[in-house]
């Protein structure tokens, strides 16, 4: 028998839950339905699903509150959560993501979109989200504690920059196109524009400070994380010019 991914559907509207379950079954998933938070919690205590589809508007405890709770629980914190929401407001989406949801689907959604997003979070979970410490030169990233340090100093990163750095460190010295990064870091490139990658790469470089030069732009190809650059030392001579004297665009290299 095939190993079918388990999906826990937390949704109080039977018609929607049934529609989702039927589609999931037809596409090789094993759905379970919980119509309220108490049932959902019992399901989770019983067997961990591979993905949770979590409705925002539930009677009693809201989906948002459940997402926060499950993220804080060591048993469930690694299970990807997709929020189902009728709200299209950006502030609500941000609140959902802040609560620990991996992604959100705005109702009404197509089956195709739902399946794409479920597959995306499943892809994203492995192998980049396996816990452990990865190091490149003086740069260290710990996926268990979500801490990044450079030359022993903490580096503060947003969640997307953290995921991006995690992926780049685990696939170092290789060039990744924007499309590949969207696929492997964001999980799909159907719904997000490629320039989003550039924005997060820029933020990542800025957050890394002196180590930012390790994130190289490879013209016409994409990005790569490399130790084959001179990284200015933090320790030696504070106040020394932290440039490699190449000027703007100097970081770009031919593949
Ligand atoms: Ca609902």
β-sheet bridge partners, residue 30:
6
Please check the confidence at residue 77 and state whether its pLDDT lies above 70: yes
DSSP 185-210: IIS-SSSS-THHHHHHHHHHHHHHGG
Q: Please check the confidence at residue 14 and state whether its pLDDT lies above 70.
A: yes
Report the pLDDT value the prediction gives residue 246, as an integer from 0 to 100.
Answer: 41
CA of 48 to the centre of ligand 1 (A): 22
pLDDT of residue 249: 41
Distance 56 CA to ligand 1 centre (A): 7
Q: Which helix (H) or strand (E) holds 67?
A: helix 63-72
Separation of CA 249 and ligand 1 centre (Å): 50
The residue-averaged pLDDT of 50-58 equals 92
pLDDT, residue 251, reads 41
> Burial level of 182, CB count in 10 A (0-12/13-18/19+)?
buried
Of 1-15, 53-67, 83-97, 120-134, the range with the highest mean pLDDT is 53-67
Cα 9 to middle of ligand 1, angstroms: 11
Report whether 82 contacts 101 (CB < 8 A).
yes
**Cα(62) to centroid of ligand 1, in Å?**
9
> Of residues 187 and 143, which shows the higher confidence score?
143
**In the chain, beta strands by DSSP E:** 6-10, 30-34, 51-55, 81-85, 103-106, 133-136, 139-142, 147-150, 153-155, 215-218, 222-225
Whole-number Å distance, alpha carbon 186 to ligand 1 midpoint, is 26
What does each C-alpha distance from 204 to 117, 123, 155, 182, 213 come to in angstroms? 25, 22, 10, 15, 10
CA of 11 to the centre of ligand 1 (A): 6
Three-class DSSP category at 55: strand
* Assigned token pair, 239: 């106040």
CA of 58 relative to ligand 1 center, distance in Å: 5
DSSP one-letter code for 253 = B
Average pLDDT over the chain reads 84
| Distance between Cα 108 and ligand 1 center (Å) | 12
- Cα of 215 to ligand 1 centre, how many Å? 43
**What is the reported pLDDT for 88?**
65
**What CA–CA distance (Å, rounded) separates 118 from 197?**
21
Residue 123, pLDDT above cutoff 90? no
Residue of 231, 226, 24 lying closest to 111 (CA atoms): 24
Query: For the residues 57-80, what does the mean pLDDT come to?
Result: 89
| pLDDT per position as a tens digit, 126-183 | 555 556 788 998 999 998 888 999 999 999 999 899 999 999 998 889 899 998 888 7
Side-chain half-sphere exposure of 202, counting CA atoms within 13 A: 6
Q: Cα of 63 to ligand 1 centre, how many Å?
A: 9
Distance 84 CA to ligand 1 centre (A): 9
At residue 238 the predicted structure's pLDDT band, cuts being 50, 70 and 90, is very low
CB atoms within 10 A of CB 38: 11
Distance 120 CA to ligand 1 centre (A): 23
Q: How far is the CA of 104 from the centre of ligand 1 (A)?
A: 14
The mean-pLDDT minimum among 17-31, 90-104, 137-151, 178-192 falls in 178-192
């Amino acid at each position: 028998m095939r190993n079918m991914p388990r999906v826990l559907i937390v949704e109080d509207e039977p018609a929607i839950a049934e529609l989702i379950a039927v589609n999931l079954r037809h596409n090789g998933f094993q759905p379970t339905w919980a119509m309220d938070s108490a049932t959902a919690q019992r399901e989770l205590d019983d067997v961990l699903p591979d993905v949770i589809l979590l409705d925002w508007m539930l009677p009693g405890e809201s989906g948002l509150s459940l997402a926060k709770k499950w993220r804080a629980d060591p048993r469930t914190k690694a299970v990807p959560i997709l929020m189902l929401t009728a709200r299209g407001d950006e502030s609500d989406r941000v609140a959902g993501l802040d609560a620990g949801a991996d992604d959100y689907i705005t109702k009404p959604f197509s089956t195709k979109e739902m399946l794409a997003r479920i597959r995306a979070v499943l892809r994203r979970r492995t192998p980049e989200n396996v816990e452990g410490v990865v190091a490149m030169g003086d740069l260290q990233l710990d996926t268990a504690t979500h801490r990044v340090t450079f030359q022993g100093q903490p580096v503060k990163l947003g969640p997307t920059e953290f995921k991006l750095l995690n992926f780049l460190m685990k696939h170092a010295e290789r060039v990744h196109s924007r499309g590949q990064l969207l696929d492997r870091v964001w999980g799909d490139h159907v719904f997000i524009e490629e320039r989003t990658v550039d924005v997060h790469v820029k933020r990542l470089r800025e957050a890394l400070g002196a180590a930012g030069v390790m994130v190289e732009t490879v013209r016409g190809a994409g990005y790569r994380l490399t130790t084959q650059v001179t990284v200015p030392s933090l320790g030696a001579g504070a106040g020394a010019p932290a440039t490699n004297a190449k000027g703007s665009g100097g970081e770009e290299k031919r593949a």
